[in-house]
Structure 1
Amino acid sequence: MTGTDRTKPNLAAAGNSPLVVLVDPQMGENIGAAARAMLNCGLDGLRIVNPRDGWPNERADAMSAGALEIMPPVEVYDSTEAALADCHYVVATTARARGMVKPVLTPRAAGAELA
């Protein structure tokens, strides 16, 4: 059987779920794909900072395969600072090379730190 196991406890319902914050997403499809992946993993807190193609977005909705209809409303912010203002612990990921001097963790190490 494939799909999400709905018999498992929903961690998001308990208020323990991490939030996903997309900063300057380039296309609605990226937002929709993220929402779909989030729903498959039991996450439902999606925040968007400065979406290039605006919000709401038809392409995001189509790409989400219905995830956006099930999740709580997406929150849209004008700045990363505002989107993270109530967050206690922040982990950032990117595929781009950066010149910042910040601690770098492998996914396994970050997961262990969050546990």
Structure 2
Amino acid sequence: MKKRLLSYIAAGNYQHVACAAVGIDNSTFTRWREKGEAGHEPYATFCKELTRAEIEAQANLVELVRSHAIGDWRAAAFLLERKHKKDWGRHETIEATVTQQLDEDLDL
């Protein structure tokens, strides 16, 4: 069951989806993770494997987007604007006009 759970995570599924797919409650998963983060075995080993699965999922998805960037510039733009927001992210300015003033000052 652990191997299947980690494979669902490595495929990019959310925690609750992976749990449902293998038939465990999300709260059980959360307890395992908490015990692992506290250093209790075998949960600590599970947490290390879980981290590797999450990293694998991210790396695979980034590679998928990168492979599509060859034929579609929007995939490259997607990665740039998320990874390098300062330089490539969307910068939107929101302007607001106050049309009514409060009669009383707030006492803080």
TM-score range, shorter chain: under 0.3
What is the TM-score with the length of structure 2 in the denominator? 0.23
Larger-gyration structure (1/2) = 2
Name the structure with the higher strand share. Answer: 1
Larger RCO: Structure 1 or Structure 2 (Cα < 8 Å, ≥ 6 residues apart)? 1
Q: Which structure carries more helix by proportion?
A: 2
TM-score where L is the length of structure 1: 0.22
